[in-house]
């Protein structure tokens, strides 16, 4: 489909809807904030995990003396 047809269809659907009469309680904002924080934290963890794997592939990981003592 052409992008103009899709945009026009979405605009028509958006403008033709009626009132929703929905209720959002005060806890909804807190749940949304918690979801945003959890998404950011998990994304940073995944980036860190793959960064270390990438550095390991390139042989750039540094081993400290503490790591060597645990291997024995």
Query: Is residue 5 domain-resident?
Result: no
Query: Is residue 6 domain-resident?
Result: no
pTM over 0.75: no
Query: Is residue 41 domain-resident?
Result: yes
pLDDT tens readout for residues 6-31: 898 888 888 877 777 888 788 988 99
Q: What is the mean pLDDT of residues 41-60?
A: 92
Question: Which has more pLDDT, 71 or 54?
Answer: 54
- Given a contact cutoff of 8 angstroms between Cβ atoms, the answer to whether 12 and 4 are in contact is no
Range(s) of the domain holding residue 48: 25-62
Query: Is residue 13 domain-resident?
Result: no
How many distinct structural domains can be found in the chain? Answer: 1
Question: Which has more pLDDT, 36 or 60?
Answer: 36
pLDDT for 62 beyond 80: no
Query: Is residue 68 domain-resident?
Result: no
User: Chain centroid to CA 23: how far?
Assistant: 27
- Given a contact cutoff of 8 angstroms between Cβ atoms, the answer to whether 8 and 1 are in contact is no
E-assigned strands of 1-72?
none
């Amino acid at each position: 489909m052409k992008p103009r047809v899709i945009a026009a269809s979405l605009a028509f659907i958006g403008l033709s809807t009626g009132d929703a009469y929905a209720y959002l309680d005060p806890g909804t904002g807190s749940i949304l904030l918690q979801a945003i924080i959890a998404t950011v934290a998990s994304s940073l963890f995944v980036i860190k995990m793959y960064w270390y794997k990438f550095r390991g592939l390139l042989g750039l990981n540094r081993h400290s003396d503490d790591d060597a003592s645990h291997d024995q």
